[in-house]
Amino acid sequence: MRNVLLACALVLATTSIGRAQDAAVVDAKHYRVLIDNERTRVLHVVVGPGEKIPRHGHPDAIMIPLVIPPGPAGAKAPAAMFIPAQTHGANDSGPMRAEFIYVELKGNAAPCATVPANRPGITSTRLIENPKADAIRATADTGFSEPAGTTHDYDQVIVALGDAELSMTVDGKTTNTWKRGDVAFIGRNVKHETKNAGKPVDFVIVAIK
């Protein structure tokens, strides 16, 4: 993991998060806010070759690489990584472009939900188990569905890993098509509906307890 992060050229020095500046404020060029609520903030990050990254900080977070330089000997990044609270920056981001989703975990509230190991119609691989949140590589199989009114007692940040067609309705808004890096949020106990009538669809789900 350390080699992958160094390859991304973002974690070059760390200090206390208490003095850190907000990435979306000091570095809006690279950090774009997709979702921001009391439980999480989700950032889409794109860093070009050789770009400078101002010093900034994050709370505990889960990072989902979309495009990332390989580590030594061609080592690939995992599908998700837990990043502890830290401050970082880079004077030179390296020779390759990097892109990822950063799911920040806000606050220190005790977990109040249990994330199931399996769900009907979804093939799951647990990537991260953390007291605050789990990250799951999930494939929604053909025919997977959640009827209208479905709820879960944990928050979900859903990150598409590829182009796909899957219908998801949350708070009256329906998404039918997805591209790699598209993100959706389903709050705990929020009614929603999902249906996959096409080919299997791959996501990373960050389940916030």
Q: Using a pLDDT cut of 90, give the percent of the chain over it.
A: 68
Close Cβ partners of 3 (under 8 Å, ≥ 6 residues apart): 71, 72, 75
- CA 181-186-188 angle, to 5 degrees, is 145
Contact between 185 and 160 under an 8 Å Cβ cutoff? The reply is: no
- Name the band, by pLDDT with cuts 50, 70 and 90, for residue 7: very low
Q: Mapping DSSP to helix (H, G, I), strand (E, B) and coil, where does residue 153 land?
A: coil
pLDDT band of residue 169 (cuts 50, 70, 90) is very high
Tens-place pLDDT, residues 101-160? 999 999 888 899 999 989 999 999 999 999 999 999 999 999 999 999 999 999 999 999
Q: Please state the domain count of the chain.
A: 2
Sheet containing 201-208: give its strands across. Answer: 122-129, 133-140, 201-208, 155-160, 183-186
Average the pLDDT over each of 22-26, 92-96, 122-126, 205-209 and give the range with the smallest value. Answer: 92-96
pLDDT tens-digit map of 180-198: 999 999 999 999 999 999 9
Give yes or no: residues 130 and 88 share one domain.
no
d(CA 81, CA 194): 27
Q: In the listed set 80, 105, 130, which residue is the last one of a domain according to the structure?
A: 105
Domain that holds residue 53: 2-105
DSSP code at position 8: H
Domain membership flag for residue 27? yes
How far is 2 from 100, CA to CA, in rounded Å? 16
State the average pLDDT over residues 14-41. 82
CA distance linking residue 185 with residue 34, whole number of Å: 10
Same domain, 192 and 138: yes
pTM over 0.95: no
Averaged confidence pLDDT in the chain: 88
Task: Provide the pLDDT for residue 9.
Answer: 39
How many DSSP H helices and E strands does the chain contain? 2, 16
* Final residue in a domain of this structure, among 75, 105, 135: 105
